[in-house]
Amino acid sequence: MSQGLQIDSGTGELLAEIRGRVAVLTLNRPEARNALSSHIGRAWGKLIKRLGDDPQVGSILITGAGPAFCAGGDVNGMSRSAEVSETTLEERIADLRSYQRILIGALAGVRKPTVAAIPGAAAGAGLALALACDIRIAAQAAILTTAFARVGLSGDCGIAWLLTRLVGISRARELMFLSERIDARRAEALGLVNRVVADADLRETAFALATSLAEGPTVAFGFMKDNLDHAVTSNLLESMDHEAENVIRTQLTFDHKEGVRAFTEKRKPVFQGH
């Protein structure tokens, strides 16, 4: 893939560029398997909001530099943090709650399609980051694991919520308790990833998918995400009422009218995102 318009994230640990209508975010700590850091956390929320609000961006593709996607939290940093006596328990809880909202909450709140390209390890909070994306493409070499039980932690960054809704309560408990390393094919069978491709094809395949989504009816995609989020906590009648409001709103868009014209003219629609 050719390089696009570079965006300054404020840190070399998070690279950002726009290629066509696709924003590509790359976690860039390959020496640490792209483990999350305070630098990434500070840059992430602002960048995600900026891309979500940018009318020139139709989709967001997230990946990691080197052979890993994201190894989760920095374990060495965790041990140092646990020894800091000046910070109270309440302050540490508040800090983590804020960090989770910046990292996972901001990503899940984006109303544009998001795609995770997983070249290798996605562990702990790194797995949660991938699961918070709408679609996940994994290389054959990818390994997924909740990892938390291996370091005596209960889990964070929405991992319990995300896993339960993707694979069900029983499988979520298994994945959390055992913290097994799940290869790409089993991850696909469990529903943790949508597709598995050859290692060499991952980035091109994921970018092609993100491009296809970016060229789609992005307003409708946003309402689709809203409908799907609402469906998690509503009954059928409430969900249908919510869908009725949103589908009427999308009927008023240029993209709907263009879709109808393209259908009758037997051509590919050219959506404009409004």
pLDDT at 84 (0 to 100): 55
One CATH from 3.40.50, 1.10.12, 3.30.460, 1.10.3470 for 218-264:
1.10.12
The domain limits of the chain are 5-214, 218-264
By three-state DSSP, how is residue 94 classified?
helix
pLDDT > 70: percent of the chain: 95
- Give the integer Cα–Cα distance in Å for 111 and 12: 26
User: Does position 221 have pLDDT exceeding 90, yes or no?
Assistant: yes
User: Does position 77 have pLDDT exceeding 60, yes or no?
Assistant: no
Average pLDDT for residues 41-46, to the nearest whole number? Answer: 91
Question: C-alpha angle 36/226/169, rounded to 5°?
Answer: 65
Q: Do domains 5-214 and 218-264 have the same CATH topology?
A: no
β-pair partners for 6: 17
Q: How confident is the model at residue 3 (pLDDT cuts 50, 70, 90)?
A: confident
- Give the integer Cα–Cα distance in Å for 21 and 152: 42
Give the pLDDT confidence of 172-218 residue by residue, as tens digits.
999 999 999 999 999 999 999 999 999 999 999 999 999 999 999 99
User: Does position 271 have pLDDT exceeding 70, yes or no?
Assistant: yes
- Give the integer Cα–Cα distance in Å for 92 and 218: 38
pLDDT > 90: percent of the chain: 91
Which helix (H) or strand (E) segment holds residue 137: the answer is strand 135-139
pLDDT at 1 (0 to 100): 55
Class of domain 5-214: alpha beta
pLDDT at 74 (0 to 100): 77
